[in-house]
Amino acid sequence: MPLETLPNEILTHIFTTLPTLDAVLALAATSTHFYRLYHGSQRLAILAAVLDKEFGPLDAILQICTHNASQPAHQHRQVAFSDALVEQILSIGRTAKHWEEVYPFKRWKTNYAARRLLADAERYTLRRAIYRLWLFTRAFHNPNHSRNTRNNPAILTDRAALLHNWSTPDLAEMLDTHNILRDVVANNICPSNGKMRQKFSKRYPDSSLQQHNSHQPMFNIYGNHPPPPSASWCATGEAAWMNSSIITSAKYTHTRLQPSRWHEPGMEGWGDDINHYYVVEDMLKLDPQQLLFLRDRCTLKVQVEGFIKTRVEGGEGGWFANNGETFCETLWAVLKQRGVEVDAFKGAVEDGEMGVAVV
């Protein structure tokens, strides 16, 4: 029996059982009948079901999309499904799917023998943790929460109320995911002077130094030097600096570690120890999508600085720098309220006894 002869109710059910949006669009393109059925009255219902399978949990994404300053972040929001939400869900969901590929490399960075792909249930858990961290970031890492308000009792209560929505195992999954974000920031986006020295030595060992005139990276020990003259294109405050034709222009196609007349690898370091720690704390206020952009597109320090200046601080300067993320300190407070030993909790997550991928 040809598929097209089946009742529309059955065909709609077939659409909703497909695993991805691409599969739905492919089926809808096979015939005029399927095209009309997909674009009919059940289109949003089909999309909701399929997007939940591919990017779910859908409800966690909707909490991000519908958050605004007029409602406390911990209040659950119900919303009617719409095309406008579909676009936001795709953007957020695809970001979470990207982190599924990053997680194994960071989670088992040194234990190569244990490295593996995540199971479907673990991928779901990771996406859920990403969405919950994203909601926390959107709610509490913004110009309305400056350094002067981070210890305000009312703000502390609001932050704790959001984390109290989730069980202790759920919080362990969030901490495990947060550790992955921290690793990406500390080693890929904003590497320390020591990390840059290590990478440079690995790229150009002693046997190759003669080919590069025995160049050794020169570090700024204060970690707060202004952007070099070549960075003026991204320090103007113009949003167009992220245009790919600018990022890939001749001066900036060299790698982070390659010395040239325009580039000193040592200037890519973000300071030593204490300075670097505070830089990482500040950068962890960015959401997962922004961190992915910086990791994949902004390979130079000057590009990262330009992103922060043009896209994060904007006209609200003063809230981002020297005002570290507040997720961890809020988590420790919530765990203490529940009578959980913080050090034991952190150890369990680091050892893989709790978290996304449990040993």
DSSP-assigned states of every residue in 187-228? IIIS--HHHHHHHHHHHS-GGGGGGGTT------TTS-PPPP
Average confidence (pLDDT) over 272-283: 91
Q: Is 151 exposed, middle or buried (0-12, 13-18, 19+ CB in 10 A)?
A: exposed
Find the mean pLDDT for residues 334-346: 96
Average pLDDT (12-20) is 94
Say which range, 39-53, 61-75, 141-155, 341-355, has the weakest mean pLDDT.
141-155
Hey, how many other C-beta atoms are within 10 angstroms of the C-beta on 291? 21
> Which residue carries 């030097």 as its tokens?
225
* pLDDT reading at 337 higher than 50: yes
23 phi and psi angles, rounded to 5 deg: -65, -40
Among 332, 337, 336, 307, smallest CA distance to 320 is for 307
Predicted local distance difference test score (pLDDT) of residue 230 = 40
Token readout for 140 is 């509490």
pLDDT for 348 equals 96
Work out the burial of residue 13: count CB atoms within 10 Å of its CB; fewer than 13 is exposed, 13-18 middle, 19 or more buried: middle
Residue 220 binned pLDDT confidence (cut-offs 50, 70, 90): low
Tokens of 45: 């219902």
**pLDDT tens, position by position, 302-322:** 889 989 888 766 545 568 888
How far, in Å, CA of 202 to CA of 273, rounded? 21
Contact 320, 308 (CB under 8 A): yes
In the chain, how many H helices and how many E strands? 16, 0
> Per mean pLDDT, which range of 11-20, 24-33, 267-276, 301-310 is the poorest?
267-276
Q: Say how many C-beta atoms besides its own lie within 10 A of residue 23's C-beta.
A: 15
pLDDT at 238 over 50: no
In this structure, of 102-106, 137-141, 296-300, the range with the lowest mean pLDDT score is 296-300
More confident residue, 206 or 72: 72
Q: What does the pLDDT read at residue 253?
A: 45
Q: What's the CA gap between 50 and 59, in Å, rounded?
A: 13
The rounded distance, in Å, linking the Cα atoms of 181 and 161 is 23
- Interval 157-179: pLDDT, tens: 999 999 999 999 999 999 999 99
Calculate the average pLDDT of the chain: 84
Q: Is the predicted pLDDT of residue 243 greater than 90, yes or no?
A: no
Q: Residue 59: what pLDDT?
A: 95
Instruction: Tell which phi-psi region holds residue 318, choosing left (phi > 0), alpha (psi between -120 and 50) or beta.
Output: left
How distant is the alpha carbon of residue 273 from its chain centre? 23
